[in-house]
Structure 1
Amino acid sequence: MAIARRLDDALTSGRFAVTAELGPPRDPDSATIRAAAAAFAGLVDAVNVTDNQAATVKVSALACAALLIDEGVDPILQITGRDRNLLAAQSDLLGAWMFGVRTVLALSGDPLPVGPYDALATHVRDLDARRLARLITRMNGGSLAAGERLRRPTAFRIVGAANPLVDSPERLTSKLDSGVTLLQSNVVYDIERFAAWLAPLVRLGITQRAPLLVGVTPPRSRRMLEHLHHNIPGIEVDEATFARMDGLEGDAAKAEGIEIAAEVIERLRSIPGVAGVHLMAPGWDTEALPWLVERAGLAYLSKVSDGGSPAARAKGPHVKADE
């Protein structure tokens, strides 16, 4: 199936870009990925495929990216240095290009102690995020790490991760100098602090060199917000957002979470240097995404019908959900 490279169009035209995230399953069921592709198609410009996220074993990100391509969805392949030595990384990148992957997010990878394999697996230290970006840049130039020439060079767009409130302009400039031409950030809730962090990046021309897509996640509960606030560096949750999720459960919590995320998006759209958003809704991504895209006015909404959103269901049992 032909792929519409809408992310290219958005970044070229200056249209507000929208990407989303798919976490591969543990079980090797292609139907799960195809169903997710159907949910994402027409709603977003591209879909990140995570790579053994949280240091846990999942279906190969490359295999899932190939399935998305087969379904007409443009993937952003996440590739980490944690699990690959220099040979394996190059092999996977060549295979990704052959399958039709054109955008890669270069990451170091979550540390092994985060997951269940700390005592069982080895953290491969050939490549961190910047060395991986430099490797991809070299492959784009037509050669492999040992100097072998490629008769058909790759031409990947290289994405880098940005951590608001933590990453300095110098750190991000180093990533750009490694070949990164697009940035995706971690989750943002505290808009004032984010805007203060972003302003120097705009002033220094960093967001002109690499457009920034800002991470947005609909909270499912106050407990989730507390986990993000206290355990993930760079994520700050303001007290007003905490208060809005107090005591909410089920569809009411989902509806309020989507409302919070939509309001974050609306505010982000007015901030200089924000080129788009990266939507993450772990645990209920394919259900939440259409309603979030609709509520935030992000376009491509041919498949959302009235009555089926969490907001509609939260009004009471008399509202019939469109399952």
Structure 2
Amino acid sequence: MLETALTDGFAITAEFGPPLDPDPGPIRAAAGALRGRVHAVNVTDNQAATVKVSALAAAALLLQEGVEPILQITGRDRNAMAAQSDLLGAWALGVRTVMALSGDPLKVGRYEPLATHVRDLDSLGMIRLVAGLNAGELLAGERLATGTSFRIVGAANPLVDSVQRLEQKLEAGLHLFQTNIVYDVDRFAAWLAPVVAAGITDRAPLLVGVTPPRSTRMLQHMHDNIPGVEVDEATFARMRGRTGDAAKAEGIAIAAEIVSRLRDVPGVGGVHVMAPGWETEAVPAVVDAL
């Protein structure tokens, strides 16, 4: 499903954060809400440095429910052995797309004094590791009789990442980019133009991150604290004074309009819709609004 959308159309993916409690019900419910509306669903890996149900287990449940997962895997929590073991297990379970990430720093959550930030693999190292599995070989030289053919996804940070940084990820083996959140489409398009001119989006499609805001406070936090996220004044103005359901409705409208504008930006292959904490409500609403 994702392959067809990337090749022939405009791909729409969503993000799903597994729950804290080991209950498969919310995961299956999320699959029901997202199935048929998006082409694939990213399953986050202990997002914001907090403990959640295993991303691999959640991806397996999504597969059972007929939803194509994109398994996020971070180097923060795994040494090189554990990362390879999880990836081999993912392939055996039917996962065909993985997103290689360094992982949020432990200081973001509660576990900085309790857990170790494993530093065997950063995002580039994880991309190279998955590419090695695709070539049929583990890091220590073991050969696989059953090879993998993962689609490898990596992050692109608008306004921050240079053409050279993105080329490094391509050379490491990446097949698809997903960007951080975009609100200022004009500013994003200006950043993207040299990326397109360098031929990067010809080598790997690029999906743009879109997040429906729920409040002005949320927008201000992202604008001030997340590198590469710039919220334009027009978006702030639309959200000011709105609360509750009115704020949600306006946020959905903003996100849908951003997606519509992104369709016309050269080099954009689709969007990745993120709505932490209300994805099963917001993602279908954004897609339906399109």
Q: Same fold (TM over 0.5)?
A: yes
Residue identity matched to 2:88: L
Q: CA deviation at 1:25?
A: 0.5
Q: CA deviation at 1:289?
A: 1.7
Write the distance in 2 (CA, Å) between the matches of 1:260 and 1:72.
29
Q: CA deviation at 1:269?
A: 0.3
Write the distance in 2 (CA, Å) between the matches of 1:87 and 1:281.
32
Tell me whether 1:37 sits opposite 2:31 in the alignment: yes
Tell me whether 1:156 sits opposite 2:145 in the alignment: no
Write the distance in 2 (CA, Å) between the matches of 1:104 and 1:120.
27
2:7 alignment partner in structure 1? 12
Kindly tell me the number of residue pairs found equivalent between the two proteins. Answer: 290
Residue identity matched to 1:94: L
1:28 alignment partner in structure 2? 22
Q: CA deviation at 1:22?
A: 0.3
1:173 to 167, 171, 177: 167
- Any residues of structure 2 matched to 1:286-301 within 5 Å, and which? 286-296=280-290
RMSD: 0.6
CA displacement, residues 31-64 of structure 1 (integer Å, 9 cap, x when unaligned): 1100000001100000000000000001100000
1:199 alignment partner in structure 2? 193
2:273 alignment partner in structure 1? 279
2:137 alignment partner in structure 1? 143
Residue identity matched to 2:165: R
2:53 to 52, 59, 81: 59
Runs of 4+ with deviation above 3 angstroms: none
Q: CA deviation at 1:282?
A: 1.2
Identity of aligned residues (%): 71
Q: CA deviation at 1:291?
A: 1.6
Quick check: which has more Rg, 1 or 2?
1
Q: CA deviation at 1:11?
A: 1.4
TM-score (norm. length: structure 2): 0.99
Residue identity matched to 1:264: I
Write the distance in 2 (CA, Å) between the matches of 1:288 and 1:137.
34
1:78 alignment partner in structure 2? 72
1:237 alignment partner in structure 2? 231
1:223 to 217, 223, 228: 217
Write the distance in 2 (CA, Å) between the matches of 1:11 and 1:264.
19
CA displacement, residues 245-301 of structure 1 (integer Å, 9 cap, x when unaligned): 1111111101100011011111100000000000011121101122210112xxxxx
Write the distance in 1 (CA, Å) between the matches of 2:121 and 2:170.
17
Gaps of 5+ in 1: 1-5, 297-323
Write the distance in 1 (CA, Å) between the matches of 2:232 and 2:213.
13
Write the distance in 2 (CA, Å) between the matches of 1:105 and 1:224.
26
2:122 alignment partner in structure 1? 128
CA displacement, residues 57-98 of structure 1 (integer Å, 9 cap, x when unaligned): 011000000000011100000000000001000000000000
Write the distance in 2 (CA, Å) between the matches of 1:12 and 1:267.
20
Task: Report 1 or 2 for greater relative contact order, CA contacts < 8 Å, sequence distance ≥ 6.
Answer: 2
Secondary structure, counterpart of 2:269 in structure 1: strand
